[in-house]
Structure 1
Amino acid sequence: METSQYLELFIEESREHLQTCNEQLLELEKQPGNLSIVNDIFRAAHTIKGMSATMGYSDIADLTHKMENVLDAIRNEKAGVTPEVLDVVLTAIDQLESMTEDIAAGGTGTLDVSETVRQLAKIEAGDQASPSAGSSGEFRSALVYDEYEFMVLEQAAAAQMSSFEITVELQDDCQLKAARAFMVFEALSSLGEVIKTDPSTEELEDGEFGNRFQAVLVTSGKAGEVKQAVLSVSEVKDADIQAVTAGQVKGRASAEPKKQLKSGTGSTADEHSDEQPSRQKVSNKTIRVSIDRLDHLMNLFEELVIDRGRLQSLSRDLNNQALTETVEHMSRISGDLQSVILNMRMVPVDTVFNRFPKMVRQLSRDLGKQIRLEITGAETELDRTVIDEIGDPLVHLIRNAIDHGIETPEIRNRSGKPEEGILKLRAYHSGNNVFIEIEDDGAGISKDRVLDKAVENGVVTRDQAQNLEDREVYELIMASGFSTAETISDISGRGVGLDVVKTTIEGLGGSITIDSEEGTGSVFSVRLPLTLSIIPVMLVRLGNEVYAVPISSITETMLIQDEDILMVHDRQMIDYRGRVIPLISLHQVFGAHESENRTAQAVLIVQKGSKAAALSVDSFIGQQEVVLKPLGNYLTDVHAISGATILGDGKVALIVDSASLIQ
């Protein structure tokens, strides 16, 4: 069957079902006795298995089948819902996601999942999951045998030969573990045949295990001979030899995946595959549209917006009533069309937020902290282009809050706080912007520590540090290369700090502010525009040229008299509502001709975080929605210009980047 035409659908469906598995597994951890949650996870996994088998991705189907067996064991109360079991299942989900993304990138979707399969098989056999050998060196005694190994044990018994499970423990200071393991197997091979190892031979050769490993030997020798041969190898601390027969391991045989396209778990899977037929009716109300088609539609509409402005300009010049009425009607229709198209491109921030619960859970376990993540406003929508870029900055902010913000249970106890820290992630609309806030009830930011580090790194001088407001002090942690971390960890603090987060967010036309109280917690607030394609601007005149300033950065427009201008250290300043802020002449910035006879100046008050400035222009033309066009690869270094737009009269207006002027 030709499957390429279904590839995009397979990838999207797999992503959705894997996300369902992630969310429900985290919910199952909170409600281990709620078996209906297990049924939801099972249905999602069963769907993934069926789709991947149909598409020919057998590795995904096989791993999902193993995961299904564990879920079935949980559902039938043969396995418990423990953090260790969930760790293994979540690892399987991570690997399925990696395989799916590999297919999306043009790969084959293959991945070495042998260790995860081994752990899943142990759980299925009634043995609880254990940490990987590489991390702790601990093994369970119950090895899991496949059909071939089971058959060898039977044949050995028929031939009057003995079979032994051997657990070898190396000395704690053993430096060449892989070499010692090789020497042990050489000694065992002289007595018989090694039919199984745990970990695998590849992991043993790479030294990816702790101080213990296991082997199964078929031999005509005695247990004492086997133990003596193992202990003869230097740096072997101990060896445990246990006789084993096919009858003893019969209940530990691993289940082989059934190569079926529709069902690989028998009547149990079929029983639950059609439990909710009503869901099909809901899915019929939506269709999947390629992102490329939406981008093409948006490009066409941008051209329409430009032509709309041109028609409005011509209508005013010709002063024809019929033409004016037609243009006004077309403007209303195109305005409605603009709203529809922009809504089509809007995506809930939930598509970004849904990756965080699992991440917070894992980081909490890694750091030995107790953290509860609370998410609100996940239904808030953003333009797809913004969604694509905001994920990594939010990941970094959350990792910093977990690593640097929330304390360990012991420290929180001494501070009179509950052992469990709270991390709040919320999103909400405000005007033409979306705000995303990351709040924690941790240690907060130490102003003195930040200032000392800033002075030490040369970010500010000691004199400047004394005059900074609280919020300005907190913003220092977003300076390039700034870090107050005492030690470098895998969680955060490897040189890619908040300066990268700040740069990314400002590149999206947004901003980030920080509020904190030492000992109480911190709030990082990210402001983002709803869309990056069509933006409202204030058109201003400089000499004979027209410039556009985004409305999102303007707080006020006003006229000032020349006598109101102050000179401070040879810089022009004005008094704005009790604050002295710099006055920046756009005429000087862009080399425009400046009127000599004026007595008053039109200024725009623009703001970036806690900083503000006044931009001097000749006059205001008015507000207008314009299409933001990039300057291209040849004009990347143009100062204080973020793009351009085409006006109704066909002329090009440059869009002012007020944030860079304040900087």
Structure 2
Amino acid sequence: MGEQEEILNDFLVECSEGLGQLDQEFVKLEKDPGNADLLRSAFRVIHTIKGTCGFLGLTKLENVAHAAENVLSRMREGKMPVTPGTITVLLEAVDAIKEILASIESTSKEPEKNYNAIRENLDALLSLASENQVLQIKSGQTPAADQPVAGQAASLTAPESKEPVEGRAEGDTAGAGVPSAETRGPGLSSENQVRLPAESSIRVDISLLDNLMNLVGELVLARNQLLQRVRQRDDAIDNATAQRMNLVTTELQDTVMKTRLQPIRNVWDKFPRVVRDLARTGNKEVELVMEGAETELDRTLLEAIKDPLTHIVRNAVDHGFEAPEARKAKGKPAKGVLFLKAFHEGGQINIEITDDGAGIDVEKVKRKAAEKGLLSADAVSRLSEREALALVFLPGLSTAEKVTNVSGRGVGMDVVRTNIEKIGGTVEISSRIGQGTTLWIKIPLTLAIIPALMVKGGGELFAIPQASLLELVRVDEDSAGRIEMIHEAEFYRLRGTLLPLLRLKHVLRISGEKKSGGGENIVVLATGKQSFGLVVDEVIDSQEIVVKPLGRQLKWLSVFAGATILGDGKVALILDVTGIAKKGGLVQSGVEDRDLQGQEDLSESAEGERQSLLVFNVSGHNRFTIPLSLVARLEEFDPARIEKTVGGEVVQYREGLLPLISLAGLLGETPAPRTDGTVPVVVFSDDQKSVGLIVGQILDIVDERIKIHRAANGKAGVSGSVVIQGKTVDLLDIYQIIELAIPGWHKGHRGEKSLIRGGRILLVEDSGFFRSQLRPFLEMEGYEVIEAEDGEEALNYLGTQQVDLVLSDIEMPRMDGLELAKRMKSQSKYENLPIIALTSLASDSDRERGKNAGFTEYLIKFDRDTVLEAVKRCLAGGPVIAAQNKGGSNG
């Protein structure tokens, strides 16, 4: 079960990487139907999904992907034109694939839902193409004007979905309308450019980065404590060492922070599809322009702003833009423009969302607020225009004329503001009726480690994030008259401007005497466009702090953003500047304070399947684990009983000899000292034969829900790492360990004999998932495996290394398998080199093309025994079978 789950996880990761680009590519293809690169890229993604799900037995997913692949294949061959109608059907297929994958991710199985309608729409496109009846959009005709042909369903040419599925988009291209400096033109979308980043990067599990960030946070705390101790001692030598540690810690912190940064385009990439679908549904014309897509921010913040930004974009298209006719009547272009911009400024991320739509009618907002009882009529009449606009953030208020599945219910903008403020950000709105609306969002770069100003109030120490700090003002006794009282509120006249004041002790309702000495300390802060002064008893200093979340019992305290541990070990609360302003009545809440006690942090939810694991060490330092289900017995032997033979160490055990494997020697570890005079041994049994693994010390047997992280160093015998009780533990591959120590043990004890000599196999496959499944069992059979990701890379290997057999996929970037086979067979030195096709292309014409290209055998993905038999047969020079279809698919 654990192995199957791991295979599914690998499959889902690979699918998400490819599907993230499809929405964009199809939207671009609709605007540029002749772009062959986009077609090829989309075809490869769908083709890989189809082939892989056939191996995993995911029938519904395979059927939808197969039907979509057939349509794309016709387009690629020039037998079907690209029209808005066909793109709509393909996008619906992508939505279906995402829906199925989401079900697999959450339940490990396909949904009960029937997807026959999607397949029928795709098949209908093929039928129309074969009859030369495919719809084409004439110049100037809007997509909404597509009409069904020959009695076919209208869904073939018009959007059927009322609410488009918004999948994760992590592609590398910017959305439609991005300025040319950030847009990759059709002529630049070569596979070479796509592959370059992959060659210099690796995939790292997010939880590993989070753990690394937590460790750096602890290091920063230790650094702060050390610096404080050194300052107290005033020792020159210690001070030099501490400063060096301070420098290294800061550099390490900055580097680790960069590993968590992701470009905002990872969220924006799905917006072209969202805008396209909503515009078609509402019979509107909207162009999306994005600037600053490469602006980076912390991954946690990126996840937090994804839903608010999506809601704003959807609301703008559905509710903000007029119909083309209405725009023309106002003297505007028929096509509206939605502009997204992101940039760094003042240690924060600034995001602007601007539309040139109808704008917000402030008087209408006031009337709605009074009608719904959100404010009294008298209070509404006294509101300024800016204050009235802020009412749109109140729950239940909407000025939409009609309710749609996107907007009009008064739910959404209040949640947008709440979510933005929850991560220490602010959101402001400005609008001109008839001209458009702009929203400004400001959020911090990161939430993990931040610079802060330490202040005191009522004898307590507090931290204020410097991202909200404008300046510090010291008002001495002689200038105290510049603090004025207006309507029982305090103001300070700063450079001719009245600055509202709040006193920290009053806001927090804490007592305590101020430190002796006249005057006032004012910390000038900003939240959004509102500036104010916070009067504190004392300003201490600035330092970097590690943000720790408050417990559930304290999350309802909106004036605090978290807590931090100081250098002396004391805890200081971090002030939420926006919360302070709201508490002091300077900023309208927009939403009531919420009790978040019942909300759980989803990032801490358990992942993976619960497993019983044996935990042990080898050298006394590193920890290792294996599934308890593989363990036959735990034994302790007297060292005197261990004997040496030609084949290695053994011990007499249960009327036989038990071979022993020293894990320390195999893994390159120093054996742990034996203190009790016994040797701990983990006994593994398979098919009435046993082997013992010598370990250092049995530490624990645990039952935990774990998630396996792939080993990045490729260490033999280690399949990955897991986190057990907060510590990273290496997970051993017991089969590989035994095979490394006693070659042939798995085969030999079953009475099998190797049919052929071992050989070197060149595995040519662009799918990392399939490579990870093929390589291990080939190596278990004694073959040496080298990998190439496409035909071009394979030819480079062949020119420099001796290879006994080539095992190749067909569909690959740069050079596919057919071209590779042709190139090989055209050269005399490769004439007798066997080459096996391993693909999901299973039609008779596909097999014929493979045979003509020169493949020795043609296999359908993916049956282990069939592959091994074919490899042995080819290497032994046995009879060749033109095509095998064991466990294959119909496409």
TM (norm. structure 1) is 0.75
Q: 1:521 to 1:279 in 2, by over 3 A?
A: closer
SS of 2:545's equivalent?
Answer: strand
Residue of structure 2 aligned with 1:572, choices 468, 486, 490 = 490
Structure 1 position 609 matched with structure 2 position 548 = no
Quote the Cα distance in structure 1 between the aligned partners of 2:531 and 2:428. 14
Shift of 1:596: 8.3
| TM-superposition CA deviations, 1:458-504 (whole Å, max 9, x none) | 55555655665443332221122221122211121223131110011
Q: Which residue of 1 aligns with 2:597?
A: none
Shift of 1:328: 0.6
Q: 1:654 to 1:398 in 2, by over 3 A?
A: same
Quote the Cα distance in structure 2 between the aligned partners of 1:277 and 1:544. 62
* C-alpha contact 2:128 2:134 (8 A) present in aligned 1: no
| TM-superposition CA deviations, 1:541-569 (whole Å, max 9, x none) | 22432111111222221123432222223
Structure 1 position 421 matched with structure 2 position 332 = no
Quote the Cα distance in structure 2 between the aligned partners of 1:84 and 1:518. 35
Q: Which residue of 2 aligns with 1:256?
A: none
Greater relative CO, 1 or 2 (CA 8 Å, sep 6+): 1
Structure 1 position 119 matched with structure 2 position 121 = yes
Q: Which residue of 2 aligns with 1:472?
A: 387
Q: State the AA in 2 paired with 1:28.
A: L
Q: Which residue of 2 aligns with 1:109?
A: 110
* C-alpha contact 1:471 1:610 (8 A) present in aligned 2: no
Q: Which residue of 1 aligns with 2:46?
A: 45
| TM-superposition CA deviations, 1:192-246 (whole Å, max 9, x none) | xxxxxx99xxxxxxxx9xxxxxxxxxxxxxxxxxxxxxxxxxxxxxxxxxxxxxx
| TM-superposition CA deviations, 1:77-98 (whole Å, max 9, x none) | 3323222211110000011111
Structure 1 position 589 matched with structure 2 position 511 = no
Q: Which residue of 1 aligns with 2:259?
A: 344
* C-alpha contact 2:564 2:573 (8 A) present in aligned 1: yes
Q: Which residue of 1 aligns with 2:60?
A: 59
RMSD between superposed Cα atoms in Å: 2.7
SS of 2:531's equivalent?
Answer: strand
Quote the Cα distance in structure 1 between the aligned partners of 2:407 and 2:378. 31
Q: Which residue of 2 aligns with 1:650?
A: 569
Residue of structure 2 aligned with 1:558, choices 473, 497, 500 = 473
Q: 1:587 to 1:22 in 2, by over 3 A?
A: same
Residue of structure 2 aligned with 1:399, choices 279, 289, 314 = 314
| TM-superposition CA deviations, 1:166-197 (whole Å, max 9, x none) | xxxxxxxxxxxxxxxxxxxxxxxxxxxxxxxx
Shift of 1:300: 1.2
SS of 2:107's equivalent?
Answer: coil
Equivalences for 1:237-252 in 2 at 5 Å?
none
Unmatched runs of 5 consecutive residues or more in structure 2: 136-143, 161-189, 583-891
Q: State the AA in 2 paired with 1:123.
A: L
Quote the Cα distance in structure 2 between the aligned partners of 1:532 and 1:85. 44
Q: Which residue of 2 aligns with 1:215?
A: none
SS of 1:407's equivalent?
Answer: coil
Quote the Cα distance in structure 1 between the aligned partners of 2:326 and 2:262. 40
Q: State the AA in 2 paired with 1:538.
A: L
Q: Which residue of 2 aligns with 1:78?
A: 79
Bigger shift: residues 86-95 or 458-467: 458-467
Residue of structure 1 aligned with 2:541, choices 622, 645, 654 = 622
Q: Which residue of 2 aligns with 1:265?
A: none
| TM-superposition CA deviations, 1:624-655 (whole Å, max 9, x none) | 11011112022233352221111111111111
Quote the Cα distance in structure 1 between the aligned partners of 2:281 and 2:423. 33
Higher helix share: 1
Residue of structure 1 aligned with 2:289, choices 358, 371, 374 = 374
Quote the Cα distance in structure 1 between the aligned partners of 2:470 and 2:367. 33
| TM-superposition CA deviations, 1:512-557 (whole Å, max 9, x none) | 1112222211111111111111111110122432111111222221
Shift of 1:3: 4.5
Q: How many residues align?
A: 531
Shift of 1:597: 6.0
Shift of 1:67: 0.5
* C-alpha contact 1:574 1:581 (8 A) present in aligned 2: yes
Bigger shift: residues 627-636 or 453-462: 453-462
Quote the Cα distance in structure 2 between the aligned partners of 1:353 and 1:317. 50
SS of 1:526's equivalent?
Answer: strand
Residue of structure 2 aligned with 1:519, choices 434, 446, 449 = 434
| TM-superposition CA deviations, 1:407-448 (whole Å, max 9, x none) | 100110100111011111121111321112111111112222
* C-alpha contact 1:562 1:599 (8 A) present in aligned 2: no
* C-alpha contact 2:396 2:409 (8 A) present in aligned 1: no
| TM-superposition CA deviations, 1:270-309 (whole Å, max 9, x none) | xxxxx95786564232111111111111111111111110
Q: 1:548 to 1:530 in 2, by over 3 A?
A: same
SS of 2:281's equivalent?
Answer: helix
Q: Which residue of 1 aligns with 2:553?
A: 634
Structure 1 position 599 matched with structure 2 position 518 = yes
Unmatched runs of 5 consecutive residues or more in structure 1: 145-197, 200-207, 209-274
Q: Which residue of 1 aligns with 2:412?
A: 497
Q: State the AA in 1 paired with 2:272.
A: P
TM (norm. structure 2) is 0.57
Q: 1:595 to 1:279 in 2, by over 3 A?
A: closer
* C-alpha contact 2:424 2:576 (8 A) present in aligned 1: no
| TM-superposition CA deviations, 1:336-361 (whole Å, max 9, x none) | 11111111111111111111111111
Q: Which runs of 4+ in 1 moved over 6 A?
A: none
Equivalences for 1:182-261 in 2 at 5 Å?
none
Q: Which residue of 1 aligns with 2:37?
A: 36
| TM-superposition CA deviations, 1:15-54 (whole Å, max 9, x none) | 1211222111111110123333222211221122223233
* C-alpha contact 1:435 1:527 (8 A) present in aligned 2: yes
* C-alpha contact 2:401 2:408 (8 A) present in aligned 1: no
* C-alpha contact 1:426 1:438 (8 A) present in aligned 2: yes
Residue of structure 2 aligned with 1:439, choices 333, 348, 354 = 354
Bigger shift: residues 531-540 or 278-287: 278-287
Q: Which residue of 1 aligns with 2:323?
A: 408
Q: 1:648 to 1:78 in 2, by over 3 A?
A: same
Percent identity of paired positions between Structure 1 and Structure 2: 37
Q: Which residue of 2 aligns with 1:13?
A: 14
Shift of 1:619: 1.7
Q: State the AA in 2 paired with 1:54.
A: F
Shift of 1:449: 2.1
Q: 1:413 to 1:312 in 2, by over 3 A?
A: same
SS of 1:126's equivalent?
Answer: helix
* C-alpha contact 1:20 1:44 (8 A) present in aligned 2: no
Q: State the AA in 1 paired with 2:405.
A: D
Quote the Cα distance in structure 1 between the aligned partners of 2:106 and 2:201. 26
Quote the Cα distance in structure 2 between the aligned partners of 1:278 and 1:33. 20
| TM-superposition CA deviations, 1:98-124 (whole Å, max 9, x none) | 112222223313442100000100111
Shift of 1:454: 3.3
Q: 1:452 to 1:577 in 2, by over 3 A?
A: farther
Quote the Cα distance in structure 2 between the aligned partners of 1:533 and 1:395. 25
* C-alpha contact 2:450 2:546 (8 A) present in aligned 1: yes
Q: State the AA in 1 paired with 2:242.
A: V
* C-alpha contact 1:587 1:594 (8 A) present in aligned 2: no
Shift of 1:404: 2.1
SS of 2:114's equivalent?
Answer: coil
Q: State the AA in 1 paired with 2:31.
A: K
Bigger shift: residues 92-101 or 552-561: 552-561
* C-alpha contact 1:21 1:45 (8 A) present in aligned 2: no
* C-alpha contact 2:454 2:463 (8 A) present in aligned 1: yes
Q: State the AA in 2 paired with 1:294.
A: L
